């Protein structure tokens, strides 16, 4: 992996763009209006797209930077946590679900930091990737929320988030199991 220090490349710009989309989604959700929430859902789809595209371009063009490695997961967490918090007062997701998701993310980030200090890299596993997929689609469905085309998006979103929480807890267990020997020494 060739890491360079030029932070102004397309993958990093896409990642920064993902962060800049967050306040716009925040404001759209603040209005608690169905049409604004659909706009928020479209922007969320755009943000999810940049998450996939930036990594692909960075690997394909071999322009992986330390800044990008640092910023990409932070951008993901800012996007997910901000939207989930905004969905609580809209009564689309219970606060306990958001708390579990946030607490898990804090612990996994901490475990990765400790493991990194000891020279151990913890890559995202299949379960973590499935967790993220269910979480992202769950958030999207909770943004759309209302019944459209005879589909109750809110109910589907709730169950997708619940499934992502179950996978979150299990993947946290796997992370902890993998690094417990390293962090307990």
**Hey, where are the domains in the chain?**
1-91, 93-185
Q: Which residue has the higher pLDDT, 34 or 177?
A: 34
The burial class, CB within 10 Å (0-12 / 13-18 / 19+), for 80 is buried
Rounded average pLDDT over 2-30: 85
Q: What is the mean predicted confidence (pLDDT) over 144-152?
A: 80
Instruction: Quick: pLDDT tens for 98-147.
Output: 999 999 988 888 887 777 777 776 666 788 889 989 999 999 999 998 77
| pLDDT range class, residue 1, cuts 50, 70, 90 | very low
pLDDT digits (tens, 9 = 90+) for 47-79: 999 988 988 888 888 888 878 888 888 899 999
Is domain 1-91 classified as CATH 1.10.10.60? no
């Amino acid at each position: 992996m060739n890491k360079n220090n030029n932070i102004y490349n397309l993958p990093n710009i896409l990642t920064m763009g993902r962060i800049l989309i967050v306040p716009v989604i925040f404001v759209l959700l603040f209005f608690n209006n169905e049409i604004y929430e659909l706009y928020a859902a479209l922007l969320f789809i755009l943000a999810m797209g940049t998450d996939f595209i930036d990594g692909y371009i960075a690997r394909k063009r071999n322009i992986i930077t330390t800044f990008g490695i640092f910023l990409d997961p932070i951008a993901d967490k800012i996007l997910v946590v901000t939207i989930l918090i905004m969905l609580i007062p809209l009564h689309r997701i219970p606060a306990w679900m958001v708390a579990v998701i946030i607490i898990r993310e804090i612990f996994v980030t901490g475990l990765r930091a400790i493991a990194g200090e000891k020279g151990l890299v913890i890559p995202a596993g299949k379960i973590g990737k499935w967790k993220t997929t269910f979480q992202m689609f769950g958030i999207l469905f909770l943004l759309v929320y209302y019944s459209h085309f005879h589909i109750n998006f809110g109910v589907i979103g709730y169950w997708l988030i619940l499934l992502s929480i179950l996978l979150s807890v299990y993947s946290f267990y796997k992370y902890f199991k993998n690094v417990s020997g390293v962090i307990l020494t």
